[in-house]
A and B are shown apart, each in its own frame.
Chain A
Amino acid sequence: DQQVKQNSPSLSVQEGRISILNCDYTNSMFDYFLWYKKYPAEGPTFLISISSIKDKNEDGRFTVFLNKSAKHLSLHIVPSQPGDSAVYFCAASAREYGNKLVFGAGTILRVKS
């Protein structure tokens, strides 16, 4: 049972444009959501998070939007840079489950220069 889904396996964007990565979840108990970036042969790097009491969180070029009614979140990267090319994972957790994160399958982002 995939509780966190990233339906786009890959995304290609031109440098300087906006990258939008999407994530859907099914478990209404989830109350904390995170995005990670992963390069080959490295562990995931934390990017940005959002609590379920908010609908938007911004950190520099990265903004995460949460739509609880639709059980959907998205990560916007503006402007996209070639160094952003990586695999992006969406993850979710619920206080009842401790620090256990449930990950999506990931989306490969390629930023073309």
Chain B
Amino acid sequence: KAGVTQTPRYLIKTRGQQVTLSCSPISGHRSVSWYQQTPGQGLQFLFEYFSETQRNKGNFPGRFSGRQFSNSRSEMNVSTLELGDSALYLCASSLAGPENNSPLHFGNGTRLTVT
């Protein structure tokens, strides 16, 4: 069974630009979450989608947005990039919705560098 797939693996952008990251969850998983990992802040929750609906959102500015498609694939978008947005962006999928405890399975991430 294929794992969580994230594309691209690496991305270099300039301040002020926007970026779109893509995530394909494990087949059959309907919940997709996004996390940001930085050396200073660790792993921080961005948002979670379940059946195309955003169910939960972390404490990030509105420049960070996402969506989920009917096939459970998800994208996240960051607009007006800032240097501080440089990070590893991780996508994770889960079999169940929030009403059942089910572990998140992570992809290998997209390393975004903003110059």
A-side interface residues toward B, CB under 8 Å? 31-32, 34, 36, 41-46, 49, 51, 89, 91, 93, 95, 97-106
Check if B13 is an interface residue, CB within 8 A of chain A: no
Are B104 and A42 touching (Cβ within 8 A)?
Answer: no
Report the minimum CB–CB distance from B44 to chain A (whole Å). 8
Report the minimum CB–CB distance from B114 to chain A (whole Å). 19
* Cβ contacts A to B, 24 pairs, < 8 Å: A32-B101, A36-B106, A43-B6, A43-B106, A45-B106, A46-B104, A46-B106, A49-B101, A51-B101, A93-B101, A95-B99, A95-B101, A98-B50, A99-B33, A99-B98, A100-B33, A100-B45, A100-B48, A101-B35, A101-B43, A101-B45, A101-B104, A103-B35, A103-B42
Bound complex: CA A100 to CA B90 (Å): 13
Report the minimum CB–CB distance from A71 to chain B (whole Å). 18
Give the nearest-CB partner of B47 in chain A.
A100
